Amino acid sequence: LKDQPVHWTVAANCDHVQYLYKLYCGATVVNTSSWTSDATFTYTPDAVGSYALSVSARLGSLTASKVSPVTKVYVPLTLDTFTADKENAATGDKITWTATATGGEGTKYYQYKLYRGATVVETTAWLTANTYEYRAAVAGNYAVSLTVKDNTGNVRKTSKVTIVSEP
């Protein structure tokens, strides 16, 4: 995640090994260390992108290098808002709930679960639509529970209550 530390650790089979770390974001070098005996390299990315760490190891006059698999850095998934166009509605009125989610990796998927009291009225499949509509035929307290996830499986949840009364 952006602005969160990422740790790479090298496994060596002997003591007294020195390491030189070179971190790339795409083809650009973003950080280079001095030779160190520390087998862990930590970096806090301040930009999204695909990062790879090149590690050179030396023991005396012997040197070897290896590049790590790519680590993707992205902005954390946040659920910024979840609103209903009506806090109070009459039976038969269409109520639209709208979510705003930002960050995360790739497509955002939304799942809505509608309750009347403690009874589940409807559960949607995972949708890419950030809105959900319902017309209540029966008066009562309705709550919509929203779950948002991204391509990496990060999840955020919230809920919103709307009161439906007879006209």
Q: Is 62 a residue whose pLDDT tops 80?
A: yes
Q: Give CA separation, 71 vs 20, 50, 114, 147, in Å.
A: 19, 6, 38, 26
Question: Using one digit for the tens of pLDDT, what is the confidence trace for 114-159?
Answer: 999 999 999 999 999 999 999 999 999 999 999 999 988 889 999 9
Residue 138's pLDDT is what?
92
Q: Once rounded to an integer, what is the mean pLDDT over residues 48-73?
A: 89
Question: Using one digit for the tens of pLDDT, what is the confidence trace for 79-91?
Answer: 999 999 998 999 9
Q: Is 47 a residue whose pLDDT tops 90?
A: no
Report the predicted TM-score, pTM, of the whole model to 2 decimal places: 0.69
Tokens of 55: 């590690």
